[in-house]
Amino acid sequence: MIYIASPYTHKNKEVMRQRYDEVAALCAYLAKEGHSVYSPIAHWHPIALVHDLPRDEAWWRTVDEDMIIIAKQLWVLMLNGWRVSKGVAREILFAKTNAVRVKYIQIRKGGYKCII
């Protein structure tokens, strides 16, 4: 299973929705390519909206770490804001500390590019 890390929290709700859309599109693309993927944003964003769950990094830490520990790899979707995201930084550090391989993914016209 590949864990997809991506920035999410933002003061602008539209930015959060756009980030959700981008990571959901990556998950769909990877699933069509035969990969088993999990993204906390793609999975939990709709549930958090409907059921008024917190959307901050601290609240999701345990859920994220439980999934990272069973992942074979963590892929970082390099959306705007990924470098300053506390959640993404924490996910990368946790993955590396637990010997989970980390890759970086950029969106390109017509697909994605993996940057190792």
Q: What is the count of structural domains for the chain? A: 1
What are the E-state strand segments in 48-100? 73-77
Give me the chain's average pLDDT, please. 89
Q: Cα-flanking dihedrals φ and ψ of residue 47, to 5°?
A: -65, -45
pLDDT of residue 15: 95
User: Checking DSSP bridges between strand 73-77 and strand 37-38, what pairing results, if any?
Assistant: unpaired
The CATH code of the domain that includes 111 is 3.40.50.10400
Q: What is the percentage of the chain residues whose pLDDT exceeds 90?
A: 66
Domain that holds residue 68: 2-115
Q: What is the pTM of this model?
A: 0.87
pLDDT in tens, 46-90: 777 788 877 667 777 888 999 999 999 999 999 999 999 999 999
Is the Cβ–Cβ distance between 58 and 24 less than 8 Å?
A: no
Q: Is pLDDT at 12 greater than 70 in this prediction?
A: yes
Q: Is pLDDT at 27 greater than 70 in this prediction?
A: yes
